[in-house]
Amino acid sequence: MKLLFRLSLYVFTAAFFSRCESLSKGLDTTFGSGGIVTTAIGTSDDRIYAIAVQTDGKIVAAGTAYETKYNFAIARYLTNGTLDTAFGGGDGKATLAVGSGDDAIYALVLLSDGTFFVAGSTTVSSGNTDFVLARFLSDGTLDTNFGTAGFATRDFGLASGLDVARALTTDGNGRLVVVGQSDDGSQKDFAVARYLTTGSPDTSFDSDGFATYAFTSGDDTARAITIDELGRLIVVGQTETDLAIERLKTNGALDTGFDTDGMRIVSITSGVDVANSVQIRSGGEILVAGIARQGALSDALLVQFHTDGSTDLDFGTNGTAVFSVSSTTSRADAANSMAIAFGDRPVFIGKTNNGSNFDWLLARTRFSGTEDLTFDSDGFFTLDFAGGLDEAHAVALQNDGKILVAGEANNGSNADFALIRYEP
């Protein structure tokens, strides 16, 4: 009996301390002020939509800032969260007008030499936006040798169309792959473009470097991309009502090995379902993060697919995990971006509603898609900056496993660039 008691006590104690040791630590107080950094860039609203970590640990954040109009906005931070004065105009910040209308960066890719590419949209005229791609040197100045005077733009054919680049990555040959939406005046479609590092279109992709894909006769928008180990492009987004996913061969043709025709529409709820982010897991499974809406309410969403496009029924509940973080009657939860952390555990970020405004949301799940109770005790960390509308748009993982989250934080009158570093 004594031996049984000792063994039971040992097992309980080991399990208890093992769980305690794995509990997340919370905001990293060595970063900024208590783990939080906010930066005013322009004269009004400033938002980070993309973030990346350099090999030396410096953090590059990009988005948009309002001056007399919305312009490209980029900031670089040292590892402790202070602005890097070697970047931009000596203050760690840089803004740039592409044209006379509003401009925004939605995606960012860093190269090993410290230079980086950004993608987004530029307003050509009222109601007319184009894809825009640019390259910056490591000090934050525009590389004018790229494209035409530093920019590569694409109008998909309509003078009054809303063409917007939402995501950017590089393939195994260093080529730039951009995805978003094209607008021909009657409907919006998935749009994919591939560029050489010079800013010239890659004509080995769909003959001219550009391709559009219609899931429906309505509006379809691509929001994220990843590339699998065979070089195939996996693009996700939405139709007017449902989540949409496609897989393309390296030449831009639809891959019929994926759901027989290369495209799949997935309805999760009776409302609008959106895919905002996509990652490939260690076993090759395709994990998508986004939003499940029903009426005025929305939840954060994860959906997992096998490589053939079928739903992975072992993930979540029949392939889907829906998270209602807010308990308010005005619930507005969303997963805007995602990364795969140590142990193949998904980390997603976005927003949640506290009853009167939006807060940042950071969450981690287990491998199977259930809440990770060792992460901030219930799997979810939320943050209200100053009682206004706050939203996280981007996430990146440091080599030490710490989680960087970036987005916008309301300061009481407008939005600022905002970052946190979380120690899991």
Q: Tell me which H or E stretch contains 409.
A: strand 403-410
Q: Is 21 helix (H, G, I), strand (E, B) or coil?
A: helix
CB 271 within 8 Å of CB 265: no
16 or 157, higher pLDDT: 157
pLDDT for position 22: 60
Q: Which is nearest to 301 in space by CA: 269, 256, 327? A: 269
Is the model's pLDDT at 9 over the cut of 50? no
Band (pLDDT 50/70/90 cuts) for residue 259 is very high
Centre a 10 Å sphere on the Cβ of residue 404 and count the other Cβ atoms it contains: 25
Q: What is the mean pLDDT of residues 158-169?
A: 89
Instruction: Answer whether residue 16 shows pLDDT above 80.
Output: no
In a domain, 137, yes or no: yes
Percent of the residues in the chain that have a pLDDT greater than 70, as a whole number: 94
Q: What is the pLDDT of residues 94-141, one digit of tens each?
A: 999 999 999 999 999 999 999 999 999 999 998 899 999 999 999 999
Residue 216 domain-assigned (yes or no): yes
With respect to residue 350, please indicate whether it lies within any of the assigned structural domains.
Answer: no
From residue 335, alpha-carbon distances to 292, 364, 393 in Å are: 9, 11, 9
Predicted pLDDT at 127:
86
227 in a domain, yes or no? yes
3 state SS of 5: helix
Query: What does the pLDDT read at residue 111?
Result: 95
CA–CA distance from 327 to each of 355, 377, 383, 419 (Å)?
Answer: 8, 17, 15, 26
> How many domains, in total, are found in the chain?
1
Residue 394's contacts (CB-CB under 8 Å, 6 or more residues apart) are: 48, 49, 50, 51, 61, 336, 337, 349, 405, 406, 407
* Cα radius of gyration (the chain): 22
CATH of the domain at 228: 2.120.10.10
| pLDDT, mean of residues 180-197 | 95
Q: What is the DSSP string of 53-121?
A: E-TTS-EEEEEEEESSSEEEEEEEE-TTS-B-TTSTTTTSEEEE-SSSS-EEEEEEEE-TTS-EEEEEE
Percentage of the chain beyond pLDDT 90 is: 89
Q: Which amino acid is present at 244?
A: A
Res 158: pLDDT: 67
Tell which residue, 258, 229, 238, 228, has the closest CA to residue 246: 258
Mean pLDDT, the chain, integer: 93
Report if residue 248 sits inside a domain: yes
Count the Cβ atoms, other than its own, within 10 Å of residue 171.
Answer: 16
If pLDDT is split at 50, 70 and 90, which confidence band does 10 have?
Answer: very low
- For residue 423, the one-letter residue type is E
State the burial class of residue 254 (Cβ atoms within 10 Å of its Cβ: 0-12, 13-18, 19+).
middle
Round to whole Å and give the CA distance between 275 and 222.
8
Report how far residue 268's alpha carbon sits from residue 261's, in angstroms, rounded to the nearest whole number: 21
> Residue 229 corresponds to which tokens in the numbers above?
């180990």
More confident residue, 158 or 312: 312
Determine contact, residues 319/313, Cβ cutoff 8 Å.
yes
- For residue 249, pLDDT beyond 70: yes
Q: What are the helix and strand counts (H, E) for the chain?
A: 1, 29
- In this structure, are residues 209 and 265 in contact, taking their beta carbons and an 8 Å threshold? no
pLDDT of residue 3: 37
Residue 225 lies in a domain: yes
Q: In what order do the strands lie in the sheet with 380-383?
A: 334-341, 345-353, 358-364, 380-383
**pLDDT (0 to 100) of residue 185:** 87
Structure-token pair, residue 157? 């054919």
Q: Is residue 54 part of a domain?
A: no
Q: Give the domain range for residue 171.
A: 98-257
* Residue 69 burial (C-beta neighbours within 10 Å; 0-12, 13-18, 19+): middle
Answer yes or no: is 375 within a domain. Answer: no
Confidence (pLDDT) at 159:
65
Q: Is the distance from CB of 17 to CB of 387 less than 8 angstroms?
A: no
Mean pLDDT value across residues 222-246: 98
Can you read off the two tokens belonging to residue 209? 């470097």
